[in-house]
Chain A
Amino acid sequence: MKRLRAWAAALLAAVAAMMATSGTARTPLDKVPTQAARIRHVFIIVLENKNYTDTFGTSTQDPYLQKTLVPMGALLTQYYGTGHVSLDNYIAMISGQAPTPDTADDCVPGLIGTLGNYTDVAQAGWAPQGQVVATAGCIYPTRVKTLVDQMTRVGLSWRGYMEDMGNDPARESAACGHPVIGVGTDHTNTAEAPSTAVPLGDAYASRHDPFVYFHSIIDSKSCKTNVVNLSRLQVDLAQLRTTPNLVFITPNLCNDGHDGAGTGATGTTCANGQPGGLRSADGFLRTWVPRILASPAYREDGLLIVTFDESTYGTVTSSRNTTTGQTTVDITYAGQTCCDQQPGPNLAGVRPSATTLVSTPTVVQKLVFAGFGGDRIGAVLVSPFILPGSTSATPYNHYGLLRSLEDIFHVGGYLGYAADDPRAGYHLNTIGNDEAIFQHP
């Protein structure tokens, strides 16, 4: 009996110590059966548009990712993006919402979506699992919540660190930067090269910053303090108490691999002249990952996740009619999914689909989406609690990532397609349950 009291006292002291560290109350740890239960700080770096087989196989442009981070951590070989082209993936990661007709196309006007640009979602109702039925639009109404709203509610902190945001203040603000709602073109769709007024150029892209697509975030005063330029991260990493529980990092369009072929060859570089592709992405990781891994928060209870928004498993075929001189270009995405992913309520006619983008006497461009998924991308996890060099073939996608984080942070519920649907037998795997990669208790 006495020994039991002593054990209980020790447990209470440990819990108290945890509470003192995080400043928040913890819910029971039984939801995460591995050492992932100890994670209190998650660092996510999202890169762009690379195939799993390139990133973790054939490419010679990312030696740091392949030869340093993968052996150091765990490789998720069956991690899938949830859509094409970009924005819908980021939105899935933090809200569990399936695409609208516009977010499915990066809110670029004049394509498949009906509104495009930076416009409010036109909501027509609700579908099961909290899905917004939307006829168009990109910015979700306040009642649509996100992971960071959940975290805020339970007293956990978060920040989105966006490289280049606000480099050109005429283009977007340096904090919570986004285009004016409903007005004109989203100029962040194109990287801006350096000029006298903007010596570093500006390759921030709103469509790679999920936080600015939710009124629950952009209408909050905290958006200005929580969605910030990447330059803030080094200061925040310096101390445990200044490091948010969730650190979400989006490199600029060059350093996330979106722009540039990575070779440096003339005509294939980023707007700022850098090589881009996996080469610049690898350089970004080589710069920032050591800083993260050296931070007190990571060393205490951190998890680093490096993944991509989507794959580029697509084919481009081109043929020329020698009689008419007309060239026909067909672009086909496979759009593969995993994890019983559902298309959501808004993709009728959008995914799958075949759309003629351009039709002129000289050129016809067709876009074909054979499926609605984002294809296989993979992910690397690094943590003091990870089994170094481990591999998991358990299927995951961005909805599963959201569910995993909701478990790790004990936010008390699941959003959108991160939630179970017992009627359909829908249930996602979560990384904290993956005993192939996390140390056992």
Chain B
Amino acid sequence: MMRRSSSTRNHVRALLPQLVLGIGAAFGVAGRADAALSPQAELGRQLFFDTALSASGRLACASCHSPAHGYGPPDGAAVRMGGAALDQPGSRAVPSLRYVLNRTPVWSKPFIASPTERLLEGNEPPAGGFGWDGRFDTLQAQAAFPLLAANEMANRDPEEVARKLAAAPYADRFKRVFGATIFADPRQAFAQARAALAAFELEDPSFHPYSSKYDDYLDGRASLSAQERRGLALFDEVQGGNCAACHPDRKGADGSHPLFTDYQFEALGVPRNPQLRANADPHFHDAGLCGPLRNDQRGQKSYCGLFKTPGLRNVATRRVFFHNGRFHTLKEALRFYVRRDTHPAQWYPASGGVVDKFDDLPRDERGNIDVIDAPLTRSAGQAPVWTDAQIDDVIAFLKTLTDRDAAPAALSVSNLHLQR
């Protein structure tokens, strides 16, 4: 169980040998030996940090999902660069892997049988699945994507990954865990490698440390400052920020600590990001749930523009926000929420005095964007639900969600990831 009581967490911490493993040191990781990990998970840890598994030889899972940064991106690049020459931009901003993995439900769209109750109780949006578009139901399935994507680790096929595994320093360990003949079947070796990565991600305590000030606050071991309390109240206010409606912030029935996501999909109408190479084509639209990366919901036009709600733990350490990385500071991101509708010209291009609102979607799909839930219900010219001072209060609260070991992402973008 990922969410634990504080006493259990402290117990786990006490058991952890404080040994930094060499394989993680290059990533600034506290990669710790942990006797509680299964052999698969221990092997998965080595795979996670292995740059040799990429075509460039310079990209590992940990390159984008930096353990030092809460398993999120290490800097403010809207997307990361990949491919054999590290010159291919990724498709979307890198999400954090911390906390949510074993609680993420498989993708689903509950269908309420009664048409009247569908409308009365809310036609629930889809929820779950891994990735911004929820297209992977398991971590094993998800792991195949970066390993094989031409703009990420860029292996040609599973056989190429298997060859790299067979030549890796941990090949003997791989055989001990999965059988002496595992490399005789490259597809099976590929599958087991993904299972090992999943085991590491699910088992390793570094994916769920619960070491933030807010965790201490929930356990009665810390107090929030006046500003943080104001921010929490603004975060919760249903007719105001209404953030907790999608990012729940209360303890669970068993005392477990919140993960700040309901895993549901939402269309926010984030402005188009001109930094993305793909957006040079005016006809390209990343519509999330209905494609182009996800194929099985292409016919569902009502799903276009919907992306999965991310968790907010360590959000204050990030320098890239929303699926397309359009914003690089938390203040910008929050101002967008509360001023999207009151000051649309701040966010969207205008021509002849007409603002092209929700410009990152084709016009016939813009009706999917949320204009029903606060704070997305106001009109141009109205006052935003928050002032800038109140936004600062909310940011103060969000900073309490930062784990003790989570370093802020770099303000600048490393050359490695800016190569074009």
Contacts and interface: CB of A to CB of B under 8 A. Distances in A.
Interface in A263-284: 267-273, 276-277
A413 interface: no
Contact of B253 (A105, A180, A357, A363): A180
B119 A331 contact: yes
B375 to A, nearest CB: 14
B112 A196 contact: no
Interface residues of A, number: 64
Given A49-B113, A171-B252, A357 B120 contact: yes
B101 interface: yes
Nearest to B236: A184
B111 A360 contact: no
B178 interface: no
A190 interface: yes
A53 B107 CA distance: 34
Interface of B: 1-3, 101-117, 119-122, 124, 127-128, 202, 236, 238, 244-245, 248, 250-254, 256, 262, 300, 367, 371-372, 377
A384 interface: no
A259 B248 contact: no
A270 B2 contact: no
A105 B372 contact: no
A355 to B, nearest CB: 10
Contacts of B101: 196
A269 B245 contact: no
Nearest to B250: A184
Q: Point out which of B113, B256, B377 has the most chain A C-beta atoms below 10 A from its C-beta.
A: B113
A262 interface: yes
A185 B248 contact: yes
B120 A193 contact: no
Given A180-B253, A193-B128, A270-B110, A49 B117 contact: yes
Contacts of A190: 110, 124, 127
A139 B299 CA distance: 43
Contact of B105 (A86, A201, A361): A201
A85 B122 CA distance: 13
A12 interface: no
A194 B104 CA distance: 8
Interface in A334-373: 357-358, 360-363, 365, 367
Given A184-B248, A312-B114, A362 B371 contact: yes
B371 A360 contact: yes
Interface in A191-235: 191-198, 201
Contact of B121 (A106, A197, A198): A106
B252 A269 contact: no
A270 B117 CA distance: 15
A361 B102 CA distance: 40
A173 interface: yes
Given A261-B111, A316-B116, A358-B372, 7 more contacts: A109-B238, A173-B254, A185-B248, A272-B108, A312-B116, A333-B116, A361-B371
Contact of A170 (B111, B238, B254, B372): B254
B372 A360 contact: yes
A316 B119 contact: yes
Contacts of B116: 84-85, 312, 314, 316, 331, 333, 367
Contacts of A46: none
A102 to B, nearest CB: 13
A412 interface: no
Interface string A310-322: 0010101000000
A191 B120 contact: no
A132 B224 CA distance: 40
Tell me if A's interface is mostly helix, strand, loop or mixed. loop
B111 A177 contact: no
A359 to B, nearest CB: 9
Contacts of B107: 193
Contact of B120 (A48, A180, A262, A331): A331
5 contacts: A85-B121, A173-B254, A193-B128, A195-B104, A276-B113
Given A49-B114, A85-B120, A195-B102, A170 B108 contact: no
A259 B111 contact: yes
Contact of B111 (A179, A198, A269): A269
Contacts of A333: 116
B113 A195 contact: no
B119 A197 contact: no
A172 interface: yes
B119 A367 contact: yes
A329 B250 contact: no
B300 A189 contact: no
Contacts of B113: 48-49, 257-262, 276-277, 312
Interface of A: 48-49, 84-86, 105-106, 108-111, 169-173, 177, 179-180, 183-185, 187, 189-198, 201, 253, 257-262, 267-273, 276-277, 312, 314, 316, 329, 331, 333, 357-358, 360-363, 365, 367
A260 B107 CA distance: 15
Nearest to A191: B110
Contact of B109 (A49, A267, A331): A267
B252 A268 contact: no
A225 to B, nearest CB: 18
Contacts of B105: 192-195, 198, 201, 271
Nearest to A192: B105
Contacts of B109: 267
Given A49-B113, A257-B113, A258-B112, A357 B119 contact: yes
A239 B68 CA distance: 58
Q: Which of A111, A192, A257, A357 has the most CB of B within 10 A?
A: A192
A401 to B, nearest CB: 21
A173 B108 contact: no
Nearest to A313: B116
Nearest to B368: A362
A267 B103 CA distance: 22
A323 to B, nearest CB: 16
Given A106-B121, A108-B121, A195 B1 contact: no
A95 to B, nearest CB: 23
A314 B115 contact: yes
Contacts of A184: 236, 244, 248, 250
Contacts of B252: 169-171
A269 B111 CA distance: 6
The 7 closest A-B pairs by CB, nearest first: A170-B252, A193-B105, A193-B108, A196-B102, A314-B116, A169-B254, A271-B110
A170 B248 contact: no
Contacts of A316: 115-116, 119
A174 B127 CA distance: 24
A62 to B, nearest CB: 13
A108 B254 contact: no
A195 B103 contact: yes
Contact of B250 (A105, A180, A260, A365): A180
Nearest to A254: B110
A197 B102 contact: yes
Given A105-B120, A108-B122, A195-B102, A185 B245 contact: yes
Nearest to A276: B113
Contacts of A261: 111, 113
Given A49-B113, A85-B120, A257-B113, A362 B367 contact: yes
Contacts of A48: 113-114
B159 to A, nearest CB: 29
A169 B252 CA distance: 8
A271 B124 CA distance: 11
Contacts of A85: 116-117, 120-121
Nearest to B124: A190
A85 B112 CA distance: 13
A258 B367 CA distance: 28
